[in-house]
Amino acid sequence: RALHVDGALLVVDKGAGLLTVPGIGEAKADCLLSRLADAGHPEVGHAAHRLDRDTSGVLALGRTPAAHRSLCVQFQERRASKRYEALVLGWPAEDAGEVDLPIGKVRRPGGAARMRVAAGAAGAEQARPSVSTWRVLERTSLPDSGVGVARVELVPVTGRAHQLRLHMEAIGHPVLGDELHGSDEAAAAAPRLCLHASALTLDHPDGRSGRVTFRSAAPF
């Protein structure tokens, strides 16, 4: 779903379950970029930033080479500000906090390397400093079981793969519907990953329109 279109910028609300860019192999050819090309935007051939396949929400794309370069620089220099909304298992003891834990590929015996919180982990590869902040928006419970659930706002200060999911799992509050990180209880608690990019603020890549913000309400 398009949120904004002008000569330099296309902003979309990506659905859950859709890759941002094509993966390896024919089975992963379907993605946001291919669908945009089919919908009349063949000029959008690259993505300056991505959302995980199962994460929904706001994503900005440049419609010209200059606009794409501008977006790339902003994300590389952390001048673009992103906010997410999530449902997590359990009620955090505090109303807000920060998670400062390195993330890297951790190779388990007999298994493939996967992105994990790497603090003190054996077999950690290329661990990088990673910081996220969180703030509780609402405390509620699952209707069937009564298990506590918190709606939280998440801000990735750094931008590592799966960072928000890993950090919330690390503090004992995994994202609902996350089948890759966290507990079986959290994975079974929702039919999708309850993580949504709800706001994106950046400098408009046309160089004239100043700072702009785009928002999308969480669908869960």
pLDDT digits (tens, 9 = 90+) for 189-210: 999 999 999 999 999 999 999 9
Quick check: pTM over 0.85? yes
For 96-121, write each residue's pLDDT tens digit: 999 999 998 877 666 677 888 886 55
- Residues carrying an active site annotation: 52
Q: How confident is residue 146, by pLDDT bands cut at 50, 70 and 90?
A: confident
Contact criterion met (CB below 8 Å) for 152 and 137 = yes
User: Environment class of residue 27 by beta-carbon count within 10 Å: exposed (0-12), middle (13-18) or buried (19+)?
Assistant: exposed
Report which residue type is found at 8.
A
Q: How far is CA 98 from CA 9, 164, 200, in A?
A: 32, 11, 20
Handedness of CA 71, 13, 82, 207 (dihedral sign): positive
Are the C-beta atoms of residues 220 and 196 closer than 8 Å to each other?
yes
Among residues 147, 201, 200, 211, which one has the least CA distance to residue 174? Answer: 147
Task: Report the pLDDT value the prediction gives residue 124, as an integer from 0 to 100.
Answer: 55
Complete domains list, the chain, with CATH: 2-81+202-215 (3.30.2350.10), 84-195 (3.30.2350.10)
